[in-house]
Amino acid sequence: MTTIRAFKATDLFKFNHILVTPQYAITFYLTYLSRWPDMCAVSATPQGRLMGYMIGKAEGQNLERHGHVTALTVAPEYRRLGISRRLVAFLEHVSDEVYRGLFVDLYVRCVNLAAIGIVYRRPRLGMAPRDEEDGFDMRKPLTRDPMRRSVRANGRDIVVGANEVS
């Protein structure tokens, strides 16, 4: 049975096996843990071994108020078990109930087919028109957006410059 629980600062010493390559400095994680502690979570085995983690934040004002998944990583041996989905559901719940956001967003690489959902737009990061390292800005509307105004049907066709994405 997998447990989803709050990310603690001491977890930073337990997740080297999750990362293929180090992504962020410890100060980066500590900043998120101090500003948005309720939007950071880990997945653990019954024995306490970390399986994955997610850090997020609340952004925007009024109709742009939303939760954002900043980093989501699952250890290679625990992938394809629905852990990412459960971690994102955790952030969706907090974004909806605590921060009263309209949507949750997440950036994924275009080549990450397993993670692609409702695409809002495609930030162009590389020099080529369709670079493999480009990403999709995905959004999922929350309960305060019953008309689904925060999403669009043709998001894959909306190409924007990296500087247009906050």
List pLDDT tens digits, range 84-111. 999 999 999 999 999 999 999 988 877 6
**Res. 34: pLDDT tops 80:** yes
Report the SS3 class of residue 31: helix
User: Which is the CATH superfamily of the domain at 3-164?
Assistant: Gcn5-related N-acetyltransferase (GNAT) (3.40.630.30)
Model-level pTM?
0.84
Q: What's the confidence (pLDDT) of residue 37?
A: 96
* Lowest mean pLDDT across 10-19, 39-48, 87-96, 129-138: 129-138
Q: Pick the closest to residue 41 from 79, 84, 96, 100 (CA basis).
A: 84
